[in-house]
Structures are given as structure tokens and as C-alpha cells.
Structure 1
């Protein structure tokens, strides 16, 4: 494996390199809740330069785990974001990602934890002088933090907070701290999806500030992806 060990029991690497990423699936048991994940999303769990891929548990129903790290190649189309598993068209991006952590590939960490996300964060932000903004989505609250901080005159943060059944907090901020640097924006996402805690950092040091539509649109794709893994388990 490259960096993560998903299971304690015997691990099998009998699947070949993916062509589409969907040829095989691997089943995981999170404390009684199962996920069935197409193996192309499991690039972190490979051997021999991503030529040997994780296969389903030999002689068992599922790998018993508490955490899984899936990897997606993301690209923007006219219809919005697309999150792809490893395939023959995008394999060069994954190989570079596995080698040095760069390129348009994102790790998404999924845990079977009780949701501890605080959706009252917006109310607390207001007490610090953060401004509430109009939101492009009724299920999200939007906030902008542009307080004057002498030691960091370029301080600028955005918060998009989703309440309800599957809450999320998307934070987008400017990393610039001095005049010699240029603006560059990073993003972190904490969320709860169908009883799982899901965390990821989709954009690191982007030259352009991303819009709420871009950030929320990306998370909507993550929600659909995680939900599809759970739904797949009910079809097996």
C-alpha cells in the first residue's frame, strides 16, 4: 500500500489496474454499516506503483474498518464538477498525486463517527464581527470575515454553513500574509453524510477566489458519491 492500511485482517491485492475504475468493487463494514466502493476510488490502497489494486476480502464478507480514504480526480465541466475514480484517461494525474501529492486529485476521509459538527457556528461568528451575506442556496448560510488585522492586512475568509440532516461547514480563505505574496485561496470542508463524518481539502492555494456556487457544487458531488457507496451496499 502507498500510505494507508484499511484493515487488520489479511489484505488482498488481486485486482488489476483499472480501465474505468468501476470494473470491481470492495466492501467495507463500518461498525455494522456497509459501503460498497468501486475500486478506482481506492488509489491510496495499491501496490507496485498502482499496478496492483485492493480486492474484496478473501473468504470474508467485508473489510472491518472505522475509516477509509478515497481519492478522486476532479474537473469542472459546463454541467459542474465531475469527481472521477482512477481510469486510463486520468491515470497520469493519479500517478503524480501518489508520488508527490500534487495535481487535481483530492483525498476524502470517511469515518463512522457521530456527527459533532456545530451548526451554530454562524451565530458565534456574528459575535466576532463577521458579516452575514446573501446565500445562493436556501439550505446554506453565508458569512464573510474581512476584519482588520494589523499583522495580516490580507486576512479574508468565507464560511458556508449547511444545517439540517447532512450538515456541512465549508471554509474558504486567503493564504496571503504580506505584500510580496499574491492572493491564493484554500478550502476545507467538514460534513456529516448519512451517518458518516466526511472531511477533505479540495482546493489548496488556488490563484482565484472560488464562488459559493463552485464550493457548494463540489460538496454536492461529494454528498452524492458517499450516498452512492451506501446505496450500493443495499443492492448487493
Structure 2
């Protein structure tokens, strides 16, 4: 930590991206900032250094936040979000990190050395639970799940199908609680026979969540209609 403080005092830029290995070529798609690497390897004590000034307006912090969505990093994630870090980075208003987290649920379970399948043949691991916790935290601060196309919904569905069915229900509850995606996206997520079978035991809860979504959609539509009527009154048709 002493050397990091000295580097910061000497003017080192923690936001600057560089190669992961000294003999690698510079590549924007695979480069990391010093802050990214600290988060990636779980050295969250770095972010407590007095000389380190975190600027939530700096776009490079989005990747740092992304790598912090795990055990030990939730405090930093919330700190950045409270400071005003813009989390919805997609052109359609969605959050790349939420898509990455839901897509990674199944992969994290399969790769975990402590993972084991339940009687249902599905996974339930602490690493995957952390991803749900991260999704909850991001949605709480306004992050949206806005799949760019049907392909991203399929990726999310395949991931959830590897997990126990309560993961899908909890994902729906989180996204619904914070109105973090469209109802159409959720319906598309659920519409395949395999997914309907997967969550069949939770059908009453699924219907309850979808009904709440419908009430929100109706209120939202009514509000938009009122705004439209007011605009016509002010500006003319």
C-alpha cells in the first residue's frame, strides 16, 4: 500500500488503461486500469487510500464497478452509485453489467470448485447468490436490464435454466420491484416451454409478479397519455 500511495503522490493516473502483462500488446478491449486490477483481484483496501480521488464522472470507473460486483466489493459499488456514477451505459438505456451478471449465473456455478447440483439437477452456489445481490444493488440505484436483442434474452434464459428455479423468481422480483426492465422482456424470458416447466412450481408467485407489472404498466401508460394531452393543450396537435 505504501508504494501505491507513493505512485499516486508522484502523479500516477489510476484511471489510465494498460496491458495486463508486460509483454502483451495494447488492446482497448482487453486492457485494464490500475483500479480495475485492484477490484478484479479483490484488493478493495486500495480504494480507502486518502490520496485516491474517485471521480464518478469518469467513464473508466464503470469497468471498476463491474469488477467490484462480488464479495468484498459491494461497499465500493454502492459508494460509486451514491456518488452519481452513471450505470446505464447502453444506447437503449440499459446496463451492461446487469446483462453480464445474469448471463454469468450459470457459468459461475459450473466453474465454482464448491458447486454441487441440487436434487433438481440445478445449481445453487454462493458465487451465484452474490451475482443476484449485485443485480439487486444496481437495480436499486436505477440500473436497467434492457436486452439489445432476442439473443441476449436467450443467453439470460440459458443461464437461469442452469440454476434452481428460485433464481428466476428472485430475478423477476428484483427487476419488477425497481421497474428495471419492460414487461415484454420478462414475458420473452419466460415464454419457452423449458422455462415454463422450470418455474412451474412457482406459478402463483409468477402470476402475482406479472400482475404487479401490469398495474405499473397501466399507470405508466396513463401518465404518458396525460403528458401527451397536456402537450397538445399547450402546443396544439
TM-score higher than 0.5 here?
no
* Structure with more of its chain in helix, by fraction: 2
Give the TM-score normalised by the residue count of structure 1.
0.25
* Structure with more of its chain in strand, by fraction: 1
Between 1 and 2, higher relative CO (CA 8 Å, sep ≥ 6) is seen in: 1
Structure of higher CA gyration radius:
2
Give the TM-score normalised by the residue count of structure 2.
0.25
